Amino acid sequence: MAARLLEGRPVADAIWQDVASGAERFGQVAGRRPTLALVGGADEAAAAYARQIERQFSRRGLAVSHATIGADDFPHHLQRLSADPAIDGILLLTPLPSGVSAEAAAQVIDPAKDVDGQHPTNLGRIAQRRAAFAPATALGGVRLLKHYDVALSGTRIVVVGRSPVVGMPLALLLIDSDATVTTCHSRTRDMAAITREADVLCVAIGRAGLITPEHVKPGAIVLDFGTNPTPDGALVGDVQTQAVMDVAGGITPVPGGTGPTTVAVLAEQTLRAANLQRGN
């Protein structure tokens, strides 16, 4: 039995469709496009990601602005963007200029424009089960589960990883969706015994191939957030995809699984920020 392949593209397409019509409505009222400002990201990988965001946003009627800023002017630039009524969302790209910490930078973003959930206030609001902007990759995972009609209420879900950008917000979003959530991490003992209890297993720990068939309950849904580069330039996930397919009921491929939803959710939250700022 081979697991169902849970591809991200149809999930992202459904989000993009809503975003495109929402951006059109916003434009009719506001006379401009919902606009995301990209900040930082001084290497080639960040530049490639920025181009991908720009291309996808512009196809659906959203705008992106991107300026390269030195360390000295960095906090002031973020303050200006936070105050600028023509900017709806702000996304920090790593690497930040040397000497600028991600923690300090995130604190300067207006939480109402923090469309990738990098400000602690947004993570705290998720933990308080209040409306918030979530880290886009984590929220994309929840969207993927809902798209494929995976029941969450009362479901036993194990999240492997506790990073502030994926594992932790994902666990909090799933608790808010009424799942019974266990968080595992590098210090967890006998991890396979715990992950085998999961009806849904979400892996975001950044270790290539950590999850083997022995970690997976037969029929479970497996979400792989890993994006580990291989020596030959490819990407592999945190799950041994081929082997786990024999056990799981459904699994996201890498690439093409949880990845494609990220930019779509970023656009969705940019549109939401734009509408909230206009009081729509």
| Rg value, the chain, Cα | 19
String of b and e for 220-251 (b: at least 16 CB within 10 Å)? Answer: bbbbbbbbeeeeeeeebbbbbbeebbebbbbb
Instruction: Choose, by CB under 8 A, the member of 10, 99, 124, 218 that binds a second copy.
Output: 124
148: phi > 0 → left, psi -120 to 50 → alpha, else beta; which?
A: alpha
Give yes or no for residue 184 binding a second copy (CB under 8 A).
yes
3-state secondary structure of 72: coil
Token pair 């906090």 is at which residue?
A: 75
Give yes or no for residue 168 binding a second copy (CB under 8 A).
yes
Instruction: Choose, by CB under 8 A, the member of 181, 200, 266, 267 that binds a second copy.
Output: 181
Instruction: Choose, by CB under 8 A, the member of 35, 56, 137, 183 that binds a second copy.
Output: 183
Strands 221-224 and 228-229: unpaired
Instruction: Choose, by CB under 8 A, the member of 44, 85, 98, 187 that binds a second copy.
Output: 187
Give yes or no for residue 130 binding a second copy (CB under 8 A).
yes
Give the other-Cβ count within 10 Å of 14's Cβ. 14
Identify residues 85-114 at the interface with a second copy (CB under 8 A).
Answer: 103
The count of chain residues that interact with a second copy, using the rule CB under 8 A, is 35
Alpha-carbon distance of 135 to 142, in angstroms, equals 11
Stretch that binds a second copy, among 81-89, 163-171, 230-238, 257-265 (CB under 8 A): 163-171
- Would you say 31 or 279 has its CB closer to a second copy? 279
Instruction: Choose, by CB under 8 A, the member of 41, 61, 169, 257 that binds a second copy.
Output: 169
CB of 158 to a second copy, least distance (A): 9
Half-sphere exposure of 91 (CA within 13 A, CB side): 29
What residues line the site for a second copy (CB under 8 A)? 103, 119-130, 132, 153-154, 156, 162, 164, 168-169, 171-172, 175, 178, 180-185, 187-189, 194
